[in-house]
Chain A
Amino acid sequence: MTNSATLPQPAPFGRRLKRFMADRPIIPLIILLVILVMILQILRPGIVNERWIANTAKFAIPLAILAGCQTMTMLTGGIDLSVGTVATMSAFIMATQIVNQDPAVACVLAMLPALLIGLVNGIGVGVFRVHPLIMTLGTSLIGTGFLQVYQRTVIASGARIPDFLNWLGTGLTYGFPNALFLFVPVAVLIVFTLNRTGFGRLLYAVGDNEHAARLSGVRYWQVVTALYVISSLLAGITGLLYIGLIKAPSLSLAEPLVLPSVAAAVIGGTSIFGGRGGYMGTIIGALILTVLTTLLTILHMPEGGRRILFGFIVLFVTAAYLRIIEDR
């Protein structure tokens, strides 16, 4: 830095661009989002209107919350692949329990598996030091097994989507999707937690240098357990929101959101190695992926092609961020 300050000529453009990307990943992301929307508008003139924006927001919100789970876990160098199963479980339990139970009771029942899975994840990662990827994959397999057993017991009673979830998932107020009533507080809370609270600092600290964090007195296992419980609870809430949007309870309801949620966090500039990133980028990442999905649907790209593209995006972006970090 001092070097470039004393020299009259500025640093090479590529270098400056890289540094800019690393310091403010949100601005290039927003530019990318605008470009994608423009391509969409060119391909299908008139598609971008008020209704389309509301619709995009509706589908981007569940993805953005799940990507929030990934962002927080990635900050500590982890990942949470059980979010899909957790969301599916809470959605399915909600839809089947509401038939015979009071809504409040059904809500509590729906969030219970989320709490349990989060706790097991946290203990496995924090105390036993299993790699988060393997751990969350394992708990999601177990969770799916439980859900299949549970499905048998409720097959007779049927399922129903409660009205308040319908309202939350699909309703509009003055043209704004009602899901924003849930999302805005959640997003503010996540951003506030990450930037302004001790817990948020601990997440960055653990992800940046776990050993140093431990030596400075951080109780690693407590931080990680709390983190995975929070992540799981958020995933559970997403499940409730998502069932109001999709309206068809199934055993693989939220599974298709898992890979995009990882991709959204990675695109948003959160490092999968931990210690770098934030939630604002992730929100833009989720919006980009939602618009991209619309674009790919218009171009008749099949599901398989989409997955391939998401895979390459994750690899490419991670490699690019790695280069930028090494450059500094």
Chain B
Amino acid sequence: MTRFLRRQGWVAGLFALLVFLFVITKLIQPGYGSGDFGSLARAVLPYAFAVAAQTVVVIAGGIDLSVAAMMALTSVTAASMMNGASEEYAFFVVPFVLAMGLVLGALNGFLIVITRVPDIVVTLATLFVLQGAALLVLDAPGGAAAEWLKATVVGTMPIPYLPDWADAWVPKALVLLVVCLFIVWIPLRRSRLGLSIYAIGSNELAAFRSGVPVARTRIVAYALSGLFGALGGLSLTISTGIGAPIPGPYLLASVAAVVLGGVALGGGKGGLLGPIIAVFVLRLVRTDLTLLAIDPNVTAIIEGAIMVAVVMFGAFITIRGRPAGATP
């Protein structure tokens, strides 16, 4: 138990913070119930996928600045493909968009490997490229989403042998999120590939000398990031019913949640659970601010300030944790 707590201390603390925030929410708004939790889960969905995308790359020792642009591109692609098409056509659109995310993500990794330009510059360039491509697909918010897809995030999941009141606290959006993340993450974490991703993040040279195919692993990490980005883009289209070519504030939010979730920005440390809880924390703070009847624009300022503070704190921890005299 102590070993578990020591290893998962950060995540456990974060979870306690989340519970604490729920208590506060309940105090501010005594009527806060399962319906509000459902809308929180829906709001979290795109952020959670953005964070998952960022987490994989950060663990591999990189950073992906193109997350938000990737979401915008996949979102407009899905929305414009489903616009005016039949319901069944969406069965083709979803795998197509996911494959697109995978390929574009792999392209990011491929460019980093062959040009040997640092991650931050390559993904900055692909940020421009993907943003431009999103504008080419749709130059203004528009498109549509299939009804059955929209239904996957609305309402709750009926689970057998569970009383109705408990059922009400299991929104479909949450189930979708957990299922999508676990299908990808759990097998990855247990496989050789997952270990390689951690290895190249913690010490690239040591990983290389132990026979880890560094270049291939890096490409795979970026491809997975692209896949999660595409999931995020799809969830945006599904929950809003349209696609918007201008990326939302997902880049900064993803970095902030990664830092808050206990994933070291240097790479090699942390898991997916912490960042996902961190997203819930950040979204719940926003809900609380809204419930306190604060002007939405002021909320945006406070939220931005919190995210910047979190990133500053994370960077501060990183310098303190570094052995004295080490080059940054």
- Point out residues on A near B: beta carbons under 8 Å: 124, 128-131, 133-135, 137-139, 141-142, 144-146, 148-149, 152, 210-211, 259, 262, 272-273, 302-312, 314-315, 318-319, 322
The reply to whether B129 and A319 form a contact with Cβ atoms under 8 Å apart is no
The reply to whether B120 and A314 form a contact with Cβ atoms under 8 Å apart is no
Contacts of B311 in A (CB 8 A): 130, 134-135, 138
Q: A134-B252, A314-B124 are in contact. List 6 more A-B contacts (CB 8 A).
A: A138-B307, A141-B300, A149-B298, A304-B132, A315-B117, A319-B117
The reply to whether B328 and A211 form a contact with Cβ atoms under 8 Å apart is yes
Sampled A-B contacts (7; CB under 8 Å): A129-B318, A134-B255, A141-B249, A145-B297, A145-B300, A311-B125, A322-B117
CA distance A314 to B129 in the complex (A): 10
The reply to whether B316 and A129 form a contact with Cβ atoms under 8 Å apart is yes
Answer whether A304 and B135 are a contact pair too, CB < 8 Å, given A131-B120, A149-B295.
yes
The reply to whether B304 and A129 form a contact with Cβ atoms under 8 Å apart is no
The reply to whether B251 and A137 form a contact with Cβ atoms under 8 Å apart is yes
CA distance A71 to B63 in the complex (A): 23
B111 within 8 A of A: yes
The reply to whether B117 and A304 form a contact with Cβ atoms under 8 Å apart is no
CB-based nearest A residue for B265? A131
> Using a CB-CB cutoff of 8 Å, which residues 271-328 of chain B contact chain A?
295, 297-298, 300-301, 304-305, 307-308, 311-313, 315-316, 318-319, 327-328
The reply to whether B298 and A305 form a contact with Cβ atoms under 8 Å apart is no
The reply to whether A306 and B132 form a contact with Cβ atoms under 8 Å apart is yes
CA distance A133 to B265 in the complex (A): 14
Contacts of A272 in B (CB 8 A): 121
Answer whether A129 and B139 are a contact pair too, CB < 8 Å, given A149-B295, A311-B128, A322-B117.
no
B115 within 8 A of A: yes
The reply to whether A311 and B129 form a contact with Cβ atoms under 8 Å apart is yes
Indicate which residue in B121, B137, B139, B327 contacts A314 across the interface (CB closer than 8 Å): B121
Q: Which of B125, B137, B327, B328 has the most CB of A within 10 A?
A: B125
> Using a CB-CB cutoff of 8 Å, which residues 47-90 of chain B contact chain A?
63, 65
Distance (whole angstroms) from the CB of A194 to the closest CB of chain B: 22
Contacts of A315 in B (CB 8 A): 111, 115, 117, 121-122, 125-126
Contacts of A304 in B (CB 8 A): 131-137, 139, 245
Contacts of A308 in B (CB 8 A): 128-129, 132-133, 136
